[in-house]
C-alpha cells in the first residue's frame, strides 16, 4: 500500500511536470483555442470539456493508483510526425492545424509514456478532449450551410402545421408580411457538438452494450437538427402573432437553453427505449464488470526514458514557438505606403485603405494604388505587409477567393498561371481569377511572398514561414494582388499580357525598394 502511494505520488509529479512543459510548448494554439471559446458562442462549451475530462480521470482513480511509466516506442514515430505537423501549424500561422493537434498530441504523449494498455483503459478521458477543438472554418462553413438548409426546411414545415402560410427558399423563411433569415448563429452548430459530447457521456455512464452506446451517440445528430428546427419554427410562429421583433428579443436567446434541455430529454427517452431492448445486462454483471475494471492491471514501469524524451521534445517545440514570437520585426522605412508610384512607364495614384480592412485582412500595413500605362491600360495594385513572424493565434492573409465574392463579384474562373522572366525569382506561379459583375469583367492575380520565396499556395507559404522560423531566418511576409479590367472586345490573352508585363516590372521595383528601405534588424537566436 505504501509502495503504491509512493509510485502514485512520483507519477503524479512527473505528469504535472509534463503538463507544465506541454502548456508552455503549445501556449500559442491553447491561447487561440481559449480565445475562440470566449468570443464564439458556438464553442463556449469548450471551457467545460477539460473539466469533464478531469472528472472522467477521477472516475478511473482505481486504475490511476497503479499507473507507472511504461515506454511505448512503437508510438514514437507517429508522435514525432504530429509534433512536426503542429510546428507547421504554429510557425506557419495555421490554427486549423495547430489547434486540432493539441488533443491528439496529449493522447500520443500519454500512450508514449504509459504504454498502449494504459492508453486503452484511459481512452475516454483522453479522447474526450477532442471536443474542445473549434471546427476548422472550411468544415464549419460547409456544415453550417447544410444545417441551415435542413433546419429551415423542417422549421418551415413546423410553421405550416399551425396553418400559417410560409415559403422557404434556402435559409430564408418568407411569412408574407416579413422574412426571417436563418443566419450562421442559428445554423445549429452550437447544439450539434455539445450534444454529441453529451451523448458520449450518457453512453459511458448509462449504457453497457456497445451497439446501444453507438445509437446514443449517433442519435444526438438528428436530435440537434430537430431542436434547432423547433427553435426556428417556434420563432416563425411567434413572429406571426407578435411581429418579427420576437426573433431578436428575449425568446431568441432564452429558447436556446430551453431547447437544449429538450434535447437532453429526447436523449434520455432514447436511453429508456434502449434499456427495454435485448440484450439486457443484469445488475450483478454490471457490478462484476465495474469491479474488474477497477482491478484491471497496468504493466509495471520500465523506467522513464519516454518521460525524458517527451520533456526534450516539448522543450524544443517551446523554444521554437516562443523565440519565433520574440524575433524582431522587419520594418520598412516609411512603411509599405511609401512604395514608388512610378514604375517604368506606369504612373500610379495612391488609394487609401481603411485601417479596419487592413487589420481584418491579416496585414499590419498595406499599399493600394492605381497604375496607368498609356500604351497598355490600367492595373490596380494591393499589397499587404507583415513585419513580424506569424503565429497560429494571429490573423493570416485573407484570400480574394473569399473577399471579392462577398463584395458582389462573381468568380467565373480560377486557375494557376506561371509568369516567366520575373526579376529575383525567375518565374512566379500566381493564382488567376476572372471575376464578373453586371457585365464588367476583371482579371485578378494574387500570390504570397517572403524575402526569397513566392507562391500562389497559402499552405506552401506557411511552410516557407515555418522553415524561416526553424532556421532562425528573420523574414517578412507579403500578399500581392494586382487587378486589371478586361476591356470590351479585349481578348483574355491581351489582358494576361498586360498583367504579366506589369508584374515583371513591379516585382523588379519591389525588390529594389525592399533592399533599399528594409530596416535591418539583428537575428535573435
Interval 163-197: pLDDT, tens: 888 888 777 787 877 777 766 556 677 788 999 99
- Supply the pLDDT for residue 523: 44
Could you tell me if 439 and 433 are in contact, meaning their C-beta atoms sit under 8 angstroms apart?
Answer: no
In a shared domain, residues 317 and 334? no
Q: Quick check: is 46 in a domain?
A: yes
Q: Band of the pLDDT at 275, cuts 50, 70, 90?
A: confident
Query: What are the φ and ψ backbone dihedral angles of 256, each rounded to 5 degrees?
Result: -60, -45
Sequence-distant (≥ 6) Cβ neighbours of residue 217 within 8 angstroms: 196, 199, 200, 203
491 lies in some domain = yes
Instruction: Encode pLDDT of 408-435 as tens digits.
Output: 788 899 999 999 999 989 999 999 999 9
Alpha-carbon distance values, 395 to 361, 390, 461, 474, 496 (Å)? 8, 8, 14, 19, 31
Which strand ranges, in their side-by-side order, compose the sheet holding 172-174?
167-169, 172-174, 179-181
- Cα(505)–Cα(496) distance, rounded to whole angstroms? 14
pLDDT higher than threshold 70 for residue 454: yes
Is the confidence at residue 99, as pLDDT, over 90?
Answer: yes
For residues 166 and 87, the answer to whether their CB atoms sit within 8 Å is: no
Q: CA nearest 42: which of 150, 137, 159? A: 137
Give me the percent of the chain exceeding a pLDDT of 70.
86
513 exposure class (CB count in 10 Å sphere: 0-12, 13-18, 19+):
middle
Q: Is the pLDDT of residue 458 over 50?
A: yes
Same domain, 156 and 227: yes
Grid coordinates representing 377 are 491600360
More confident residue, 94 or 110: 110
- In this structure, the answer to whether residues 152 and 262 fall within a common structural domain is yes
189-215 burial, b if ≥16 CB within 10 A, otherwise e? bbbbbbbbbbbbbbbbebbebeebbeb
CB count in 10 Å sphere of residue 23: 12
Instruction: Domain of residue 279: give its range.
Output: 138-284
pLDDT of residue 282: 58
64 in the same domain as 77: yes
Q: Tell me what pLDDT residue 9 has.
A: 59
pLDDT at residue 3 greater than cutoff 50: no
Mean pLDDT of 279-298: 51
What residue ranges in 234-351 does DSSP mark as E strands?
A: 342-343, 346-350
The residue-averaged pLDDT of 42-56 equals: 93
For residue 367, pLDDT over 80 is answered with: yes
Please report the sign of the dihedral spanned by the C-alpha atoms of residue 361, residue 363, residue 366, residue 368.
negative
Cell representation of residue 117:
494498455
Does a structural domain hold residue 126? no
Are 96 and 230 within one domain? no
Beta-carbon count within 10 A of 39 CB: 9
Q: What is the pLDDT of residue 451?
A: 82
Mean pLDDT of 200-205: 92
Q: Can you tell me the distance from the alpha carbon of 215 to that of 273, in angstroms, rounded to the nearest whole number?
A: 11
Give the mean model confidence (pLDDT) for residues 272-297: 61
Min mean pLDDT across 177-186, 409-418, 475-484, 510-519 is at 177-186
Q: What is the pLDDT of residue 524?
A: 42
Asked if 109 and 22 touch (Cβ cutoff 8 Å), the reply is yes
Retrieve residue 257's grid coordinates.
Answer: 437553453
In a domain? residue 277: yes
The pLDDT assigned to 291 comes to 44
Number of domains into which the chain is organized: 3
The pLDDT of residue 112 is above 90: yes
- Indicate the pTM of the whole model: 0.82
Q: Is there a single domain that holds both residue 320 and residue 361?
A: no
With a CB cutoff of 8 Å and minimum separation 6, the contacts of 359 are 395
SS3 sequence of 369-397: EEEEECCCEEEEEEEEEECCCCCCCCCCC
CA dist., res. 301 & res. 70, Å (int):
5
Nine cell digits for residue 497: 499580357
- Reply yes or no on whether the pLDDT at 200 is more than 50: yes
Contact 140, 40 (CB under 8 A): no
Q: Are residues 68 and 153 in the same domain?
A: no
Residues in CB range of 400: below 8 A, 6 or more apart:
433, 444, 446, 481
The pLDDT of residue 401 is above 80 = no
Q: Looking at the predicted structure, is the pLDDT value of residue 285 above 50? A: no
Give the highest mean pLDDT range of 104-108, 266-270, 421-425: 104-108
Q: Is residue 522 part of a domain?
A: no
> Do the beta carbons of residue 203 and residue 213 sit within 8 Å?
yes
Q: Which three cell numbers stand for residue 170?
A: 434556402
Check residues 482 and 232 and name the one with the higher pLDDT.
482
Per-residue pLDDT at 249: 54
CB 89 within 8 A of CB 101: yes
Can you spell out the DSSP letters for 152-205? HHHHHHHHHTTT---EEETTEEE-SS-EEE--GGGSSHHHHHHHHHHHHHHHHH
Q: Which residues, at least 6 apart from 290, have a Cβ–Cβ distance to it below 8 Å?
A: none
Q: CA-to-CA distance for 172 and 149, rounded, in angstroms?
A: 9
Is residue 292 one of the residues assigned to a domain? no
Q: Which of 223, 252, 284 is the last residue of a domain?
A: 284
Cell of 110: 500519454
Cα-Cα-Cα-Cα dihedral sign, residues 236, 242, 248, 249: negative
Q: Looking at the structure, tell me whether residues 308 and 349 fall in a common domain.
A: no
Return the pLDDT at 2. Answer: 45
238 and 357 together in one domain? no
Reported as a single tens digit per residue, the pLDDT across 322-356 is 888 778 888 999 999 999 999 999 999 999 988 88
pLDDT at 167: 83
Q: Mean of the per-residue pLDDT values for the chain?
A: 85
Kindly state whether residues 321 and 395 are assigned to the same domain: no
Residue 308 and residue 437 in one domain: no
Asked if the bond preceding 279 is cis, omega within 30° of 0, the reply is yes
Closest by alpha carbon to 453, among 477, 469, 473? 477
Distance (Å, whole) CA 506 – CA 352: 19
Does some domain include residue 123?
no
456 & 342 share domain: yes
Residue 511, SS3 per DSSP: helix
Nearest Cα neighbor of 371 from 490, 518, 505 is 505
Residue 246 has pLDDT above 70, yes or no: no
Distance of CA 83 to the CA centre of its chain: 18
Q: What is the mean pLDDT of residues 146-161?
A: 87
Torsion of CA 203, 207, 211, 216, to 10 degrees: -40
Residue 475 domain flag: yes
More confident residue, 117 or 288: 117
| Three-state DSSP state, 319 | helix
Q: Is residue 446 pLDDT above 70, yes or no?
A: yes
pLDDT confidence of residue 390: 65
Q: Looking at the predicted structure, is the pLDDT value of residue 294 above 60?
A: no
Amino acid at each position: 500500500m505504501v509502495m503504491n502511494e509512493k509510485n502514485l505520488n512520483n507519477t503524479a509529479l512527473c505528469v504535472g511536470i509534463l503538463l507544465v512543459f506541454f502548456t508552455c510548448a503549445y501556449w500559442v494554439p491553447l491561447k487561440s483555442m481559449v480565445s475562440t471559446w470566449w468570443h464564439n458562442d458556438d464553442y463556449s462549451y469548450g471551457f467545460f470539456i477539460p473539466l469533464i475530462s478531469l472528472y472522467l480521470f477521477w472516475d478511473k482513480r482505481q486504475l490511476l493508483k497503479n499507473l507507472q511509466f511504461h515506454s511505448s516506442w512503437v508510438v514514437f514515430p507517429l508522435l514525432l510526425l504530429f509534433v512536426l505537423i503542429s510546428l507547421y501549424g504554429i510557425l506557419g500561422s495555421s490554427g486549423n492545424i495547430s489547434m486540432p493537434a493539441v488533443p491528439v498530441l496529449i493522447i500520443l504523449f500519454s500512450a508514449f509514456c504509459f504504454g498502449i494498455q494504459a492508453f486503452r483503459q484511459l481512452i475516454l478521458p483522453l479522447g474526450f478532449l477532442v471536443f474542445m477543438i473549434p471546427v476548422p472554418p472550411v468544415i464549419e462553413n460547409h456544415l453550417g450551410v447544410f444545417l441551415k438548409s435542413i433546419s429551415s426546411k423542417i422549421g418551415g414545415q413546423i410553421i405550416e402545421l399551425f396553418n400559417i402560410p410560409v415559403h422557404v427558399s434556402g435559409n430564408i423563411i418568407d411569412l408574407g408580411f416579413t422574412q426571417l433569415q436563418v443566419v450562421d448563429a442559428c445554423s445549429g452548430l452550437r447544439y450539434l457538438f455539445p450534444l454529441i459530447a453529451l451523448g458520449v457521456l450518457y453512453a459511458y455512464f448509462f449504457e453497457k452494450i456497445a451497439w446501444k452506446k453507438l445509437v446514443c451517440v449517433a442519435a444526438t445528430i438528428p436530435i440537434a437538427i430537430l431542436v434547432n428546427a423547433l427553435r426556428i419554427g417556434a420563432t416563425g410562429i411567434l413572429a406571426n402573432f407578435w411581429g418579427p421583433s420576437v426573433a431578436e428579443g428575449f425568446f431568441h436567446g432564452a429558447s436556446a437553453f430551453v431547447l437544449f434541455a429538450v434535447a437532453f430529454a429526447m436523449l434520455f427517452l432514447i436511453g429508456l427505449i434502449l434499456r427495454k431492448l435485448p440484450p439486457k445486462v443484469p445488475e450483478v454483471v454490471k457490478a462484476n464488470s465495474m469491479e474488474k475494471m477497477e482491478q484491471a492491471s497496468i504493466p509495471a514501469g520500465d523506467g522513464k526514458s519516454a518521460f525524458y524524451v517527451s520533456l526534450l521534445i516539448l522543450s524544443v517545440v517551446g523554444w521554437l514557438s516562443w523565440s519565433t514570437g520574440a524575433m524582431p520585426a522587419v520594418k520598412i522605412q516609411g512603411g509599405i505606403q511609401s512604395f514608388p508610384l512610378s514604375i517604368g512607364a506606369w504612373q500610379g495614384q495612391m488609394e487609401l485603405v481603411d485601417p479596419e480592412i487592413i487589420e481584418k485582412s491579416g496585414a499590419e500595413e498595406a499599399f493600394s494604388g492605381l497604375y496607368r500605362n498609356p500604351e497598355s491600360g490600367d492595373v490596380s495594385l494591393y499589397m499587404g505587409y507583415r513585419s513580424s513572424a506569424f503565429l497560429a493565434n494571429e490573423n493570416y492573409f485573407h484570400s480574394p477567393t473569399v473577399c471579392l465574392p462577398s463584395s458582389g463579384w462573381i468568380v467565373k474562373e480560377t486557375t494557376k498561371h506561371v509568369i516567366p522572366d520575373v526579376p529575383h525569382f525567375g518565374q512566379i506561379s500566381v493564382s488567376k481569377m476572372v471575376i464578373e459583375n453586371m457585365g464588367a469583367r476583371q482579371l485578378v492575380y494574387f500570390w504570397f511572398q517572403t524575402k526569397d520565396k513566392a507562391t500562389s499556395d497559402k499552405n506552401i507559404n506557411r511552410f516557407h514561414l515555418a522553415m524561416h522560423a526553424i532556421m532562425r531566418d528573420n523574414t517578412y511576409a507579403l500578399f500581392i494582388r494586382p487587378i486589371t479590367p478586361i476591356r470590351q472586345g479585349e481578348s483574355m490573352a491581351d489582358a494576361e499580357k498586360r498583367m504579366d508585363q506589369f508584374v515583371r516590372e513591379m516585382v523588379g521595383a519591389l525588390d529594389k525598394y525592399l533592399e533599399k528601405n528594409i530596416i535591418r534588424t539583428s537575428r535573435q537566436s
